Structure 1
Amino acid sequence: MSASAGRGAWAGPVPGLPAEDDIGEARSTAQSSSTVQEHIDALLGGPAKYTIVELAARAGVTVDFARTFWRAMAFPNVQDHVVLFGDADVAALRVMGELVADGQLDESTVISLVRAQSHMTDRLVLWQNEALTDHAARRLGLDDASARLVVLDRVPALVDVLQAQLVYSWRRQLAALLVRTEAEVAEMGQPDTDPLHLPLQRALGFVDMVAYTRRSAELGPRALAELVQTFEYTSRDVITTRGARVVKTIGDAVLYVADDLPTAAAVAVDLVEALGAKPNMLPVRASVVWGRVLSRNGDVFGPTVNLASRLVDVAPPGAILLDKDTADALTASPAGREYTMVPRQVAELQGVGEVAPIELRRLPR
């Protein structure tokens, strides 16, 4: 779809959201528990009719496995007599149980996969709901509570589109991961036999907003939402278009990873500039570190991550700090000629010790 087509599609009546004269109806029906229950039944393929004991029996797994599966989805324990599950739950549990029974995967791996998808989809549905609520509030001139009632009533009309886009995005992301993995394995050469070495060599970057805690206490909800959204959207756009990947955002900070150091350095410089050009954006600072990491649960771990996190804490507003090893590696690369390295005062970094940071500055083009 072209940009103009997208704007046109949202200019008239929006699928899943009412016209202004339907707001009253939306408020009354959304407040009805029976209406909400109808939506839930439609989402889950029918009404609840099984207890967790019956669920386990129908799926061919133990009750303990069923409970572990349910908790891995980030839901609380369910008492044996509570009727909460339907045929869709049976089908999902049976598939994962068969993977274990057939020996394709062990139970630990299956539960890890369930945790992964549940963690991501929990955040996804929250993000989607907030986006739709914000749209309803802006388009229809509603307060927050009224906008949420509208979305609550009308979101089922968007379920098929949201689900299809999720599957599409997942397949695209998996395809990109396969390409990256193939390229990395081809470049590895001889395997590293040192048991203390972390497996992946990556460049990490942290970018955070300065004085966020104080500023956030001074802003109203709409201004705060705009600040956080501008920071996150701009960060994701710059990071991904430059060829790096977002690991996570934490309100006032973003952590990204790149397969090579020049990419991470370019992201840091471009991102500091892009955020600095945004109206009403707080000053930002950054760090870039090259080293080995461990990747688990969609996150990265290790001393390299800790060093990058501590460096950004001592960076002045607008500055990008490196450690000496990272600065030396970047200087030795062909991309090094694009930058100048400025030594900064030695800093005591919590949990790291004394480090002599080096500020990265891109030379005029």
Structure 2
Amino acid sequence: MTTNSSPLRAAFTGNLQEIADTVDAVILGGPRKYTAEEVLLHSGIDRDRAERIWRAMGFATPPDAERAFTDDDVEALRRAGRWRDIAGVDDEAIVAITRAITQAVSPLATWEAQLAVDNFLEEVTTSSSASALLTFSEQILPLLERTHAYMWRRQVAAYIDRRIAVAQEGRVRPSGAAVGFADIAGYTALSRGADEREIRRLLDAFESAATNAVGENSGRIVKMIGDAVLFTAERPTTAADIALDLLAGWPGSEPPLRIGVASGPVVDRLGDVFGSTVNIASRLTSVSPPGEVRVDGNMAQDLLAHDCYRLEQQPPVAVRGYDRLISWRLHRTH
């Protein structure tokens, strides 16, 4: 690990561009020393493939003469080639995987960088702020990187565990899933009048509650979307328990939650879920009164076989895409 006496720190004199170049080299694993043509030469990847992968990461293609790339960029393109040679993954899949990873990683990386960079730029002339930024890039960033790798491995292992559990029940592959949406009722109006600190506190509390409820019941959070969460579960009973636990654990002092859950066929692509079941869950959330859980007919049929749940059929309503959406209000019997 780099220490306070590193050559990078010894060379630092306080110039903003010098600080940026120093930190950039630490984060990227070395200086930007290759042009696009040189990267192609060293990696063995053709220009079209390389540019598609680079754009899938969300970056503009730099001018040909600009030295914008590092040794790690060369190795990343070589890995893309090995994906094709070893695993038989075609170019379209490589680009899709790259895009999906970027969409997941970009918000996290931006947030983590903001913790250090924004504070630094406010007092860029002070040696202490520059030292803090170098500490972030040299010491804290490697810890974050290892933490990311650890959490990724745990998520992969959790998925394998879920799939094996389904296979042991006699199903080779799940035919569908239970999908749930939960959001904070009245959030849009609330966000107009509340200050930024209060909004951040509320969203943090919601994310924590959702993560706890989904994790404790062995479900999966697909994504957090501001004041909403999308989750899935292999079984309807699991999704029902997630929804009811989330509702029960949410403090009464906070704005109430609305939750909708549906079960049925689901298209699972690159970690996200699509299809009519997802749409129905979203519509159920929109018609759910604050503080309630609404489920669709498929969920109701499955849950009626379990005496720990109580269901109350509601009158049909017209929502976008469905003229007569019938829902059931879900409770626990105890």
The normalised TM-score by structure 1 is 0.80
Query: Which residue pairs with 2:310 in the alignment?
Result: 340
State yes or no: 1:42 paired with 2:42: no
State yes or no: 1:65 paired with 2:49: yes
Query: Which residue pairs with 1:25 in the alignment?
Result: none
Instruction: Report 1:1-365 matches (<5 A).
Output: 32-101=16-85, 104-129=88-113, 132=115, 145=122, 152-156=133-137, 157-187=139-169, 189=171, 200-277=175-252, 279=253, 281-332=254-305, 336-364=306-334
After TM superposition, give the deviation of residue 179 of structure 1 in Å: 2.0
CA contact (8 A) 1:52 1:67 kept: no
Query: Which residue pairs with 1:13 in the alignment?
Result: none
Aligned amino acid, residue 207 of structure 1: A
Aligned amino acid, residue 161 of structure 1: L
Q: Deviations over 1:321-344 (max 9, x none)?
A: 112232121112xxx211211122
> SS of the residue aligned with 2:197?
helix
CA contact (8 A) 2:178 2:239 kept: yes
Q: Deviations over 1:140-184 (max 9, x none)?
A: xx899569x676453112022111111111112112222222333
Change (3 A) 1:165 1:30: farther
> SS of the residue aligned with 2:29?
coil
After TM superposition, give the deviation of residue 79 of structure 1 in Å: 2.3
> SS of the residue aligned with 1:276?
coil
Identity across aligned pairs (percent)? 32
Aligned amino acid, residue 125 of structure 1: A
After TM superposition, give the deviation of residue 102 of structure 1 in Å: 5.6
Tell me how far apart the structure 2 counterparts of residues 227 and 67 of structure 1 sit (CA, whole Å). 41
Q: Which range is displaced more, 282-291 or 170-179?
A: 170-179
After TM superposition, give the deviation of residue 63 of structure 1 in Å: 1.0
Change (3 A) 1:341 1:31: farther
After TM superposition, give the deviation of residue 276 of structure 1 in Å: 3.3
Tell me how far apart the structure 2 counterparts of residues 189 and 360 of structure 1 sit (CA, whole Å). 27
Aligned amino acid, residue 265 of structure 2: R
Change (3 A) 1:143 1:65: closer
After TM superposition, give the deviation of residue 65 of structure 1 in Å: 1.1
Change (3 A) 1:96 1:190: closer
Calculate the aligned-residue CA RMSD, in Å: 2.8
The normalised TM-score by structure 2 is 0.87
Tell me how far apart the structure 1 counterparts of residues 280 and 214 of structure 2 sit (CA, whole Å). 20
CA contact (8 A) 1:244 1:258 kept: yes
Tell me how far apart the structure 2 counterparts of residues 317 and 69 of structure 1 sit (CA, whole Å). 44
Tell me how far apart the structure 1 counterparts of residues 251 and 13 of structure 2 sit (CA, whole Å). 45
CA contact (8 A) 1:30 1:152 kept: no
Q: Deviations over 1:14-38 (max 9, x none)?
A: xx9x9xxxxxxxxx98882211220
After TM superposition, give the deviation of residue 98 of structure 1 in Å: 3.3
> SS of the residue aligned with 2:307?
helix
After TM superposition, give the deviation of residue 56 of structure 1 in Å: 1.0
After TM superposition, give the deviation of residue 312 of structure 1 in Å: 0.6
After TM superposition, give the deviation of residue 267 of structure 1 in Å: 0.9
Tell me how far apart the structure 2 counterparts of residues 175 and 40 of structure 1 sit (CA, whole Å). 33
Tell me how far apart the structure 1 counterparts of residues 53 and 41 of structure 2 sit (CA, whole Å). 14
Tell me how far apart the structure 1 counterparts of residues 97 and 15 of structure 2 sit (CA, whole Å). 36
After TM superposition, give the deviation of residue 272 of structure 1 in Å: 1.1
Change (3 A) 1:146 1:309: farther
Q: Point out where structure 2 has 5 or more consecutive residues left out of the alignment.
A: 5-11
Tell me how far apart the structure 2 counterparts of residues 33 and 39 of structure 1 sit (CA, whole Å). 10
Change (3 A) 1:305 1:275: same
CA contact (8 A) 1:69 1:111 kept: yes
Aligned residues: 320
